[in-house]
């Protein structure tokens, strides 16, 4: 199919990379984002070799690398802080680093700017009230009272996808794992040139994202899925570090601003049936949200975008393209969801502990395979 009119619901990582890929293929693309400020978390994100490869294919690699910090290994520590393994990361594009740490704001700026420069129509503060697929096209009604017709619609609207609810109201809901993650930006010490992972019931990691900054993440058991008030959030995060490795405990002195703490309960979902209905299809967290233990949530969404754009170009109907996209993506995404959840459950004592070094090496091997 060529020259299709495509609506993308959701202006996050998956939606924007889909827009870039589809515009490069010559399609007419509209991106809507319900948040009028188009805001993102103020912490960072880990991007691995498969994402470096994808960003190269998308044509954004130079701006992307300039906005973050490249590194070629993962250092794995025991709960007491002792280094127990260094896992080299494969360079999937030889001239570029194997991994990148980048702030989410910087990544959003790179993708958002490229989406607009590519000619996509980006509309903020816009949400959908109805989707009517009559087989020949899709009529979409918007909350402002307007409506528009498209050849196909892509739901890239995240874990709590309203598009998924419309397509598959009987589908499983996101499931709380029993664990949450805390994130905070802190000064980056000289010489920190890798992702540092700390095992244990309270997991932790250090990720460089700029010359001056890294972020610390801490995964904690949270029975009952409590909600922490904004006031006192920094103190609550510091309290989670008590008894941790000395390097992690020392970071507590830098965690002082309640507004800069990002706390998120870890929830997962995997849609095991079709990812589309008619001319409407889902990608990213809307169909395969994972815990962050392997650092591949965004990577899977980015790969979805490339594969979806590729399959749309290969087939004569949306249904054929969407089925082929699902068939190429399902096993890979299921592996990431299941393997990440296994680490989570091991940390919670709900399953045998997982060796992070082994799991990380296996993940690098799997994601190095073509998409």
Q: Where are the beta strands (DSSP E) in 78-133?
A: 83-88, 99-103, 121-124, 128-133
Phi (first) and psi of residue 312, to 5 degrees: -60, -40
**What confidence score (pLDDT) does residue 112 get?**
98
C-alpha separations of 56 from 142, 236, 291 in Å? 35, 40, 26
d(CA 275, CA 283): 8
For residue 211, the 8-state DSSP code is S
The two structure tokens encoding residue 33: 């984002």
Beta bridge partners of 265: 180
**What confidence score (pLDDT) does residue 356 get?**
85
d(CA 217, CA 334): 24
d(CA 266, CA 274): 24
214, 208 contact by CB (below 8 A): yes
Q: Taking CA 269 as the corner, what is the angle to CA 266 and CA 272, rounded to the nearest 5 degrees?
A: 160
Q: Which pLDDT tens digits describe the chain residue by residue (371 residues)?
A: 999 999 999 999 999 999 999 999 999 999 999 999 999 877 999 999 999 999 999 999 999 999 999 999 999 999 999 999 999 999 999 999 999 999 999 999 999 999 999 999 999 999 999 999 999 999 999 999 999 999 999 999 999 999 999 999 999 999 999 999 999 999 999 889 999 999 888 999 999 999 999 999 999 999 999 999 999 999 999 999 998 999 999 999 999 999 999 999 999 999 999 999 999 999 999 999 999 999 999 999 999 999 999 999 999 999 999 999 999 999 999 999 999 999 999 999 999 999 988 999 999 999 999 99
d(CA 203, CA 9): 34
d(CA 15, CA 283): 8
Q: Euclidean distance between the first and final Cα of the chain, in Å?
A: 21
- For the beta sheet containing 28-33, the strands, ordered from the edge strand earlier in sequence to the opposite edge, are 121-124, 28-33, 5-9, 152-155, 280-282, 276-277
**What confidence score (pLDDT) does residue 41 get?**
77
Residue 327's CB is within 10 A of a number of other CB atoms, namely 11
The two structure tokens encoding residue 53: 């490869």
The two structure tokens encoding residue 69: 């910090």
């Amino acid at each position: 199919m060529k020259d299709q009119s495509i609506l993308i619901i959701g202006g996050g990582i998956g939606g924007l990379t889909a827009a870039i890929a589809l515009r490069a293929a010559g399609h007419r693309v509209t991106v809507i984002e319900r948040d009028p400020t188009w805001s993102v978390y103020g912490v960072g994100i880990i991007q691995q070799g498969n994402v470096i490869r994808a960003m190269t294919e998308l044509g954004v690699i130079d701006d992307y690398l300039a906005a973050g910090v490249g590194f070629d290994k993962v250092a794995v520590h025991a709960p007491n802080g002792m280094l127990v393994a260094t896992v080299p990361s494969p360079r999937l594009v030889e001239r570029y680093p194997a991994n990148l740490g980048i702030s989410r704001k910087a990544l959003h700026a790179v993708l958002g700017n490229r989406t607009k420069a590519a000619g996509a129509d980006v509309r903020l503060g816009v949400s959908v009230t109805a989707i009517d697929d009559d087989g020949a096209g899709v009529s979409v009604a918007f909350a402002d009272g307007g409506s528009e017709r498209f050849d196909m619609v892509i739901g890239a609207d995240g874990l709590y996808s309203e598009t998924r609810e419309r397509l598959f109201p009987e589908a499983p809901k996101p499931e709380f794992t029993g664990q949450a993650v805390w994130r905070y930006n802190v000064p980056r010490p000289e010489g920190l040139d890798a992702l540092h992972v700390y095992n244990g019931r309270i997991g932790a990691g250090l990720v460089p994202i700029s010359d001056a900054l890294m972020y610390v993440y801490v995964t904690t058991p949270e029975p009952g899925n409590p909600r922490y008030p904004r006031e006192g959030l920094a103190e609550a995060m510091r309290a989670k570090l008590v008894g941790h490795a000395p390097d992690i405990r020392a970071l507590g002195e830098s965690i002082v601003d309640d507004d800069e703490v990002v706390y998120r309960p870890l929830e997962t979902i995997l849609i095991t049936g079709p990812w589309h209905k008619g001319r409407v299809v889902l990608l990213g967290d809307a169909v395969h949200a994972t815990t962050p233990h392997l650092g591949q949530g965004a990577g899977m969404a980015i790969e979805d975008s490339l594969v979806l754009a590729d399959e749309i170009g290969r087939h004569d109907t949306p249904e054929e393209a969407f089925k082929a996209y699902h068939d190429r993506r399902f096993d890979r995404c299921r592996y990431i969801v299941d393997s990440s959840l296994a680490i989570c459950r091991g940390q919670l004592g709900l399953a045998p502990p997982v060796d992070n070094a082994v799991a990380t090496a296996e993940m690098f091997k799997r994601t190095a395979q073509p998409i």
